[in-house]
Amino acid sequence: MIELYHCHDARSFRALWALEEMGLPYRLHLLPFPPRILQPEYLEQNPLGTIPLLVDGDTRMTESAAIPQYLATRHGPSPLAVEVDEPDYGLWLDWLHRSEATLTFPQTIVLRYTQLEPEERRLKQAADDYAQWFLSRLRHLTRALADREWLCAGRFTMADICVGYALLLARDLGLAHKFSPEVAAYWERLAARPGFIAAKAAQKPA
């Protein structure tokens, strides 16, 4: 059975949501955040101390945007993947990687310097600058949604899960009031999906 090590609403939510969307059986390990400090024995599973960690037989993965791609292709066929012979294959890959490198990364700086660092080490200027970086990159999402409901191939795919997590994080950081009408409506579509709702429920402590 697939195993997923996860912290509430962290990057590993991408993998959890993907598992629920595909209806794959899995075992969920809920960890405190950050696990490398609050549950140091986790380092025996993942020496990086980061989440997610997905274990599927001999396969071990720690990159949150790569895991949905892996699940859709290894455990497919699935409409959540865009195949290499489809016109939007490149666009699908671009959004998968953009979700993390362009949209999530600047928010991790905001998170660090507004919540994770001790009070005396928090840096408002850095947090404000990286929040603006995120919001400026979000304009591309607004443009992309001007004439479509989902990002690729005329259907909901793993790209929407990966980008959707970046919007979830933005909401947790108090940035959602800056969403354009297009992005806000897209978020509502994402949050209404049964897979999203099931993933949110799955991460609640028993």
Is residue 60 over pLDDT 90?
Answer: yes
Pairing mode, strands 2-6 and 59-61: unpaired
What's the pLDDT band for 72 if we cut at 50, 70, 90? Answer: very high
CA distance 75 to 80: 11
pLDDT tens digit sequence for 117-172? 999 999 999 999 999 999 999 999 999 999 999 999 999 999 999 999 999 999 99
Nearest to 161 by CA among 71, 74, 83: 71
Question: For 6-43, what is each residue's pLDDT tens digit?
Answer: 999 999 999 999 999 999 999 999 999 999 989 999 99
Q: Taken in order 177, 182, 185, 189, is the CA torsion positive or negative?
A: negative
The HSE-up count of residue 170 (CA atoms within 13 Å, CB side) is 28
Q: 205 falls in which pLDDT band (50, 70, 90)? A: confident
